[in-house]
Every structure is written in C-alpha cells, then in structure tokens.
Amino acid sequence: MASFIEVHHVYFRYDDEETPGEYVLQDADLVIQKGEFVSIVGHNGCGKSTLAKHFNSIFLPETGDVLVDGLNTKDDDQLFAIRQKVGLVLQNPDNQIVAGIVEEDVAFGCENIGLPSGEIRERVDRALKAVGMYDYRTHSPDKLSGGQKQRIAIAGVIAMEPECIVLDEPTAMLDPQGRMEVLRTITDLNRTLGITIVLITHYMEEAVLSDRVLVMDSGKVIREGTPREIFSQVEFLKKHRLNVPQATELIYRLKGCGWEVPDCVLNEEECVQALLTLLKQTKGKGDQVCQ
C-alpha cells in the first residue's frame, strides 16, 4: 500500500494574542495508507480534532509538515487540490449544511470547483444514492433526523470525488439509530468505493470497525495497532481516559485470573464463543477462582 497522508513531527497551537498557549499538537507523527480505514481515538482535548483539520489545510503546522498524496498542505497553490482529495465531515450536522434543499447542498462543493451543470447533476445523484438518501433529494434538511443530515453532509463530500474522507466525531450528536446509519455508510464507502476513511471518535465500539487504530493523548499518537492489539490493552486505555466494550472487559478480567480465554474479543459474538468454549472445558474445575 502507498502512503496517502503523511504527518511529520507536527507542532501546533492556537493563536492567542495575550498568551501563546500550550501546544495542542506536540510532535504528531503518523502515516495513513491509501484505501485503509483508520480510526483515531482519544479523550476530549487530546488534539484529535485539531489534527483532523491539518489533513486538508484548514490548519497549518507551526513546525513540521503534512503531506497529502505528496502535496504539502503549506503550499498555497495546491489548496483546492488538497481539499478535493480530502473531504472533512464535522460533528454537528446542522452547521455544515449550506443550502435549504438536500440536492443543492450536495451540489455546493461541485459548484465551487466549477464543474459543468450536467456533471454536477450526475455526481449529486450518485453521491445521494451512495449514502441512501436519493429519495430525499428535494426535501429540506430541517425535517430530517440527525443521522440523515450527517449522511447528506457525507454525500456533499463524496460528490467532490475525494480519495479520502476524514470524519471528526460524526456520531457524537446522534442517537444509536443515527450512529448506526452513519457507520454503515462509511464502512460501505471504504469497501465498495475504496475511499480512505479516517474516523475520529471516542467511542471504542466504532473503532472496532476499522483496520487500524491510532490512540492519541497530549497531542501525539502514543500507540497504534489493529483493533485487537489495541483493545487487549485495557489498563493502558483506561489510563488514557478511554474504555473498551463490556465484552472485551469481561474476557480481559477472566484472562487476568488465569482462565483460558483468547487475548482479546471485539464483540459479543466472539465473547460468547470464548465463554462457551471455556465453560465446556472447565466445568467443575473452578478451584482457581479469583474474586
């Protein structure tokens, strides 16, 4: 796989006239491969949203560089090229919808880059179908649910045919139903269209879906690995204000007492499988109980 986004030793702090402030990103260093589904997890204030805005030149590093498909985000001439390659979806669905009609909002980005109207039409229809909102194309966004609005926002980004979509806590304001819709949509985009996905979240249940998890704290990536590798380190995650699904925690605790279970399970099915195997094997041999 080829690298798509490279972040090299980036330091960043917010401008504040009176106090220069602390660095929000401190030596952030990471690589995102083409076509992969990465999640970046970390507690509120760890710098993950600030990092996301570096991926498409909304913020520029104070020191260090961010390269998108080989283009440096500091290069002013490449600004629009970079923003076409990397789309960004924000947390609050209401605040990123520009137009009062669904299809016109989806068209907004394409209109900005000066595409002919026939092509915009095609792209908008395709994007709306990809997120399953084609039937709502002439509706007003006001009457839609949070999950639907967030899918419209995603469609607006897809219509620009980016190679990568960065989603900054896209589900934080949604109910479970809306969260599921959005997650299904992005997993789908990754699998069928091969779009690189960077999902920023503090829900570990969502990180499970990705190929690779990056854990952030104090402005840098402190650990990375497959969901299985990361989730098996329950103590480490707790230390960094994160937690794991209940299934993972249960198996982790049994493992800690010396029971024969896998190192890590990611969901309830795996957990039940592990428990069934354990129960069948060790029924009646419960002397090694640890409370």
Partner 1 sequence: MSVIKAEGVTFVYGQGTPFQKTALDDVSFEMREGEFVGLIGHTGSGKSTLVQLLNGLLRPTKGKILIDGNDIWQNPKKIRQVRFKVGLVFQYPEYQLFEETVAKDIAFGPKNMGLPEDEVEKRVQKAARFVGLREELMEASPFELSGGEKRRAAIAGVIAMDPDVLILDEPTAGLDPLGRDALLDQIVSYHKVRRNTVLLVSHTMEDIARIADRIIVMSKGKNVLFDDTRKVFSQGEELEKIGLQVPQITKIMMMLRKNGFPVDSSVLSVEQGFQEIISCLSSD
Partner 2 sequence: MVRDITLGQYLPGSSFVHRMDARSKILLLTASVVFIFLCFHFASLLIMTGFTFLVLLGTRISLMKYLKSLRGVLLVIVVTGLFQIFYGSGEPLFEWYFLKVTMNGLVSAAFIVVRISILMMISATLTYTTSPTDLTDALEWLMKPLKLVRVPVNDIAMMMTIALRFIPVLLEETDKIMNAQKARGADMESGNLFKRIKALVPVLIPLFVSAFRRAGDLATAMECRCYDSGAVRTRMKVMRFGWRDLCALLICLTVYAAVLCCGRWLPSVF
In angstroms, rounded to a whole number, what is the distance separating the alpha carbons of residues 155 and 230?
A: 31
- The number of residues that bind partner 1 (CB under 8 A) is 41
Q: Determine if residue 12 is left, alpha or beta; phi over 0 gives left, psi from -120 to 50 gives alpha, anything else beta.
A: beta
- Give yes or no for residue 255 binding partner 2 (CB under 8 A): no
Q: With CB cut-offs between 5 and 8 Å by kind, which of partner 1, partner 2, none does residue 36 bind? A: none
Binding window for partner 2 (CB under 8 A); candidates: 51-59, 63-71, 184-192, 221-229 = 51-59
Binding window for partner 1 (CB under 8 A); candidates: 54-62, 69-77, 95-103, 176-184 = 176-184
- Give yes or no for residue 61 binding partner 1 (CB under 8 A): no
- Give yes or no for residue 51 binding partner 2 (CB under 8 A): no
- Give yes or no for residue 285 binding partner 1 (CB under 8 A): yes
Q: Biggest alpha carbon distance in the chain?
A: 75
- Give yes or no for residue 71 binding partner 1 (CB under 8 A): no
Binding window for partner 1 (CB under 8 A); candidates: 24-32, 38-46, 62-70, 216-224 = 38-46
Tell me the residue type at 48: K
Segment 187 to 216, residues that bind partner 1, using CB under 8 A = 202, 204
- 150-153 CB contacts, 8 Å cutoff, 24+ apart: 150/89, 150/93, 150/174, 150/178, 150/181, 150/182, 151/181, 151/182, 151/185, 152/93, 152/97, 152/102, 152/105, 152/106, 153/89, 153/90, 153/93, 153/96, 153/97
Identify the CA nearest to 33 among candidates 215, 210, 231, 229.
210
Q: Which of 19, 95, 138, 291 binds partner 1 (CB under 8 A)?
A: 291
Q: How many CA atoms lie within 13 A of 240 on its CB side?
A: 24
Query: Which helix (H) or strand (E) covers residue 156, if one does?
Result: helix 146-158
- Give yes or no for residue 141 binding partner 2 (CB under 8 A): yes
Contact 26, 220 (CB under 8 A): yes
- The number of residues that bind partner 2 (CB under 8 A) is 40
CB of residue 258 to partner 1, shortest distance in Å:
12
- Give yes or no for residue 204 binding partner 2 (CB under 8 A): no
Residues 154-193, mask of contacts with partner 2 (x by CB under 8 A): --xx--x---------------------------------
- Give yes or no for residue 90 binding partner 1 (CB under 8 A): no
- Give yes or no for residue 114 binding partner 2 (CB under 8 A): yes
Exposed/middle/buried for 5, CB within 10 Å: 0-12, 13-18, 19+?
buried
Identify the CA nearest to 206 among candidates 236, 239, 184.
184
Residues 139-158, mask of contacts with partner 1 (x by CB under 8 A): ------xx------------
Contact 80, 36 (CB under 8 A): no
CB of residue 252 to partner 2, shortest distance in Å:
38
Tokens of 197: 């996905």
List residues binding partner 2 (CB under 8 A): 53, 56, 58, 80, 83-84, 87-88, 90, 92, 94-101, 103-104, 107-117, 120-121, 124, 141-142, 153, 156-157, 160
